[in-house]
Amino acid sequence: VSHHGLGEFEQMVLLAIVHLGGESYAVPIVDEIERRTGRSVSRAAVYVTLRRLEEKRLLSSWLGDSTPERGGKARRHVKLAAEGARALREARQMADRMWHGVSAAMLRTR
């Protein structure tokens, strides 16, 4: 967990948004994480995380237009905020620093 409080799953959600062009909504985010990690993801966990990230001001959101294939309900779009991008960069740097100097040989267990 970084000093922004970014957990592993939060990082995954933010990165999925980045991969989707920095702006998307829940359905493709879930698909993106599942496609890239090869693991199935709890949809509920994604919604809860999106809400939390928005509360932390790492994301911003707005309602789109309603469409008939969605039963007349609007999409909730999310966009990576500047603070969110910074949190991701910091998380990356921290991980890089920790990985620096670690070789494959060092990871071999006896």
Partner 1 sequence: LRRVLPEDVRDAIEGDLHELYVRRRSGSGTTRAQLWYWWATLSLAARFAQSRLAETLSHVLGRDAVPSALDFTLGVRMLRKYPGLALVGGMGMAVATALGAGSFEFFNSYLYPDLPLHEGERVVSIINWDVRRGTDDPHILRDFAVWRDEAKSLADVGAFRTVRRNLIDSTGLSGLVSVAEMSAAGFRVAQVPPYRGRALVDADERQNAPAVIVISHDVWTERFNGDPDIIGRTVRLGRVAHTVVGVMPKGFAFPVNHRYWVPLRADTAAYPAGDGPALKAFARLAPGVTRGNAQAELTLIAERRAEARRETHARFVPRVVNYGDILFETAGNGSMIVVIQTVLPMLLVLVCLNVAMLVYARTVVRTGEIAVRTALGATRDRIVMQLFTEALVLSLLAASVGLGLVAVALRFVNGVLDEGGVPFWVSPGLSPSTVAYALALALLGAIVVGVVPALRATRGQLRTALSSLSGGSKPQLGRTWTAMIVTQVAVAVCTLPPAMLMGRHWVSQALTRPGFPADEYLSADLRLEREDNGVVAAADAQVELRKTMRASQSALVEGLEADPRVAGVTFGAGIPGYHPHELVGFDNSPLVRGARVARIGTDYFKVLGVKLVAGRAFRSIDSALPTARPVIVDRTFVDQVGLGSDIIGRRIRFPLWSNGRWVDPAQIESREIVGVVEDFPAGNIGVDDPGDTRATLYEPIAPGELQTVTLFVHVRGTAATFATRLLAIAAAADPTLQLRDVQSVERAYALERRWMEMATLALVLVVGSVLLLSAAGMYAMMSFIVSQRRREIGVRAALGGGARHILTSVLARAALQLGIGVLAGLVLVVVVDRLAIGGELLSRTGLIVIPVTALFMIAVGMIAAAGPARYGLRIQPTEALRSE
Per CB under 8 A, residues contacting partner 1 are 25-27, 42-45, 47-48, 51, 63, 66, 69-76
Per DSSP (E only), the strands in the chain are 23-24, 59-66, 74-80
Task: State the Cα–Cα distance between residues 36 and 28, nearest whole angstrom.
Answer: 12
Q: Which is nearer to partner 1, 10 or 96 (CB)?
A: 10
Q: Which is nearer to partner 1, 19 or 47 (CB)?
A: 47
Task: State the Cα–Cα distance between residues 45 and 42, nearest whole angstrom.
Answer: 5
Q: Which is nearer to partner 1, 4 or 92 (CB)?
A: 4
